[in-house]
Structure 1
């Protein structure tokens, strides 16, 4: 009976691909099924492995280890570099369809540093390997492929470029898993930061980061928005634990906050309403924290996009780049000429184009960005009003107060 993997991917295509890899890299490579059994291979089993396998317990088989490594690689969403029972390195790339593991591609074994007699000695104690066999392994270790860590990274990337398109659905799931893994890493880092803070209970909810999230969203800085969102989610997990229903409630509050920010940033109420409805519908079927966090992160990206959809397609990228540049440099002595030069346009033409595309003049938009950032800084009582004014690009406190009141209806002191 033909393996399921070959029902999805052409056997000859895989065979030729592996042969090409082996001839170019000179590193043994295998195709495994979902159980870790070898379906095809290039390169001989190394003598080092042949000696070691004689002493490997049945319940610690290479096949079992490779299958488990393949599953982990699929969950991580990336090629996985790991060490086997005998301390040799391998790279495994999962082949999946609709989040079902069909098999994997395994490259190795190889070493990333010189053989260590102490490591082999410890290996001998763990698996009761006699001295004569250890000496043979030590001699054979010198003939194993040796790659510097940097080159291993490139080989790992090469496997990704070769294999990620083999199964379209698998690639989509692979990318999704990878993105979820990265997001959860950021959230976990945030949780650890809050845990390490001695005064966390006195600080309460980080409203300053919530306001910073709004500012970044309005200025089209998607990546910074995602980072701040994950930081806030980290706080929610730290303060509330892993209760899915409580986190759903907090997510609805965050979605509502993002909705208001998107509308204030120029998105139409209809588009925001559609995003909200979609999020609410998806919330009903979500049953894991990973999926919930990722859905909220995707909403940030969609909210940002809908704020800039009104920009004419012809000038979309130019204006987006100008807005990104403003969001990065607003605190300095930024001028219309500076931004026009950055996007390689004549200042007068850029001024007209910016007004037509955003509905605001350059000066109005710059002031809006500065005021949004000043709101976040004013929360901190350690900063004086003049400090806040200068930090966001206003060199005159009275002018700052005048502009602030124009945009908010309050003076900086009243807002604080």
Structure 2
């Protein structure tokens, strides 16, 4: 018995195998149309944005379209009255669909002439079954279109008629500031219509965003006024490690993520060609994150359980991109654990305290002044700082100032007195005393070490050249 004979008998089904395949592709669409919820989402998009919508199959054929396309006249039907224009639009839709799959998001692009489109894919069990095309729309009112744009439309293929102008005026207009929101809206709509969802595409988008952020950090590293030797990168890693610990302690997820991107950039610059060493460095980073989570109040049993699971997952990863996305997820889970086990109000207060210190470290600061900023008594604020950080507020201020001073010490043209003043110390001798207490050496010795390291790196670079 052949495959066609095995198919269930149905008056709509043809004995042609290829026609059967085409009908099979539309079954999911029929199912959505019958589901009031899915159809309500589609109509909601059209009503809220004012943009016509089409559902195309993977080859670009129209499976469903909104009422706009049934009106007479409408712009798309007029310009697609010849095969040339239809091909331009079809190719624009298919290209945007390919790009949306590549980047993991809805794509905003030009359709034809001055007409814009937004395209998002529909997936079923990970396979493309079609795409949503929100088009036509303009970014400016038709009266604001440039003469050359209209000339490109009317020259040769189309005649300027009253019907054409009426159709042009019927095209909805979306302002520049609104486009991003419409793009996100269409992607959410496509996600709700996909089966099960667009989770795989969202992962692609997250990976692309992460790659971009790490690439920015690598570019910043290469723009630093020093050689990127193994020694200098290790020191830079150590500095950033201390910063991420502070951010994690505060529950500052976004701040910790930014530092994590810098740490990943440093690791990638060092071990880009050696994936195993890259994984070892990521493992070290994982240990730092888990230790910090425990030190800041997360339950040790839960963190150890998480860490065991993370190490098992890490062993299975075989791709650099996957590795970077994974460690960001680990950071989020660690901060979740910390946040769950500690006072949420205190987190917000401490975050405001540290933000205030970062903004005003070069000014005279007192416990009373900072306490007023977050509407607490000085004694209550001191108690919270001691409980959460195990130190005093004055020590927190001093650590921020010393970190700022260390960066300035790399510039040999700035005097010690100037640096002390710029980071908030009115007295150079007190600056020296605090610096030695925190760093274990005087600012003068620290500067000499920086200078010596810079000379060594330069000589190494010259000898290798």
**Pair 1:287-2:318 in alignment:** yes
Mark the CA change 1:282 to 1:343 in structure 2 (over 3 Å): closer, same or farther.
Answer: same
- Could you give the per-residue CA deviations for residues 37-63 of structure 1, whole angstroms, max 9, x where no partner exists? 4443212163445434623389x5755
Kept after mapping to 2: 8 A contact 1:210/1:232: no
State TM-score, norm by structure 2: 0.69
What aligned pairs does 1:36-75 form with structure 2 within 5 A after superposition?
36-42=60-66, 43-44=68-69, 46-52=74-80, 54-56=82-84, 62=89, 65-75=92-102
Q: Tell me, in whole angstroms, the C-alpha distance in 2 between the residues paired with 1:6 and 1:87.
A: 33
User: Which has the larger displacement, 260-269 or 95-104?
Assistant: 260-269
**Pair 1:146-2:146 in alignment:** no
* Secondary structure, counterpart of 2:55 in structure 1: strand
What aligned pairs does 1:14-413 form with structure 2 within 5 A after superposition?
14-33=38-57, 36-42=60-66, 43-44=68-69, 46-52=74-80, 54-56=82-84, 62=89, 65-96=92-123, 101=128, 103-113=130-140, 114-116=144-146, 118-119=148-149, 131-133=156-158, 135=160, 139=165, 140-159=167-186, 170=197, 173=200, 175-192=202-219, 205=233, 207-208=235-236, 211-212=239-240, 214-219=242-247, 220=250, 221-231=252-262, 233-234=264-265, 244-245=275-276, 247-252=278-283, 254-255=285-286, 277-302=308-333, 311-313=342-344, 315-413=346-444
Kept after mapping to 1: 8 A contact 2:420/2:431: yes
The number of residues matched between the two structures is 410
Unaligned stretches of 5+ residues in structure 1: 125-129
Mark the CA change 1:196 to 1:397 in structure 2 (over 3 Å): closer, same or farther.
Answer: closer
* Secondary structure, counterpart of 2:197 in structure 1: helix
Kept after mapping to 1: 8 A contact 2:123/2:195: no
- Could you give the per-residue CA deviations for residues 328-376 of structure 1, whole angstroms, max 9, x where no partner exists? 4434323222332232222222222332333222223322333344445
- Could you give the per-residue CA deviations for residues 209-263 of structure 1, whole angstroms, max 9, x where no partner exists? 7514532541445434433443454466567656644543554455566667777
Alignment partner for residue 36 of structure 2, among 4, 12, 18? 12
* Secondary structure, counterpart of 2:318 in structure 1: coil
Kept after mapping to 2: 8 A contact 1:112/1:148: yes
Q: Tell me, in whole angstroms, the C-alpha distance in 1 between the residues paired with 2:383 and 2:176.
A: 52
Mark the CA change 1:348 to 1:92 in structure 2 (over 3 Å): closer, same or farther.
Answer: same
**C-alpha deviation, 1:23, in angstroms:** 3.6
User: Which has the larger displacement, 88-97 or 245-254?
Assistant: 245-254
* Secondary structure, counterpart of 1:133 in structure 2: coil
**C-alpha deviation, 1:29, in angstroms:** 1.1
Q: Tell me, in whole angstroms, the C-alpha distance in 1 between the residues paired with 2:341 and 2:368.
A: 24
Kept after mapping to 1: 8 A contact 2:38/2:192: no
Aligned-residue Cα RMSD (Å) equals: 4.3
Mark the CA change 1:300 to 1:410 in structure 2 (over 3 Å): closer, same or farther.
Answer: farther
Q: Tell me, in whole angstroms, the C-alpha distance in 2 between the residues paired with 1:205 and 1:101.
A: 44
**C-alpha deviation, 1:110, in angstroms:** 1.3
User: Which has the larger displacement, 205-214 or 344-353?
Assistant: 205-214
Kept after mapping to 2: 8 A contact 1:96/1:102: yes
Mark the CA change 1:386 to 1:252 in structure 2 (over 3 Å): closer, same or farther.
Answer: farther
Mark the CA change 1:178 to 1:16 in structure 2 (over 3 Å): closer, same or farther.
Answer: same
Mark the CA change 1:249 to 1:338 in structure 2 (over 3 Å): closer, same or farther.
Answer: same
**C-alpha deviation, 1:278, in angstroms:** 4.5
Q: Tell me, in whole angstroms, the C-alpha distance in 2 between the residues paired with 1:14 and 1:306.
A: 36
User: Which has the larger displacement, 322-331 or 403-412?
Assistant: 322-331
Q: Tell me, in whole angstroms, the C-alpha distance in 1 between the residues paired with 2:240 and 2:98.
A: 38
* Secondary structure, counterpart of 1:93 in structure 2: strand
Q: Tell me, in whole angstroms, the C-alpha distance in 2 between the residues paired with 1:303 and 1:413.
A: 39
Q: Tell me, in whole angstroms, the C-alpha distance in 2 between the residues paired with 1:260 and 1:29.
A: 52
* Secondary structure, counterpart of 2:437 in structure 1: helix
User: Which has the larger displacement, 371-380 or 165-174?
Assistant: 165-174
- Equivalent residue, structure 2, for 1:127: none
Kept after mapping to 1: 8 A contact 2:32/2:38: no
Q: Tell me, in whole angstroms, the C-alpha distance in 1 between the residues paired with 2:130 and 2:389.
A: 50
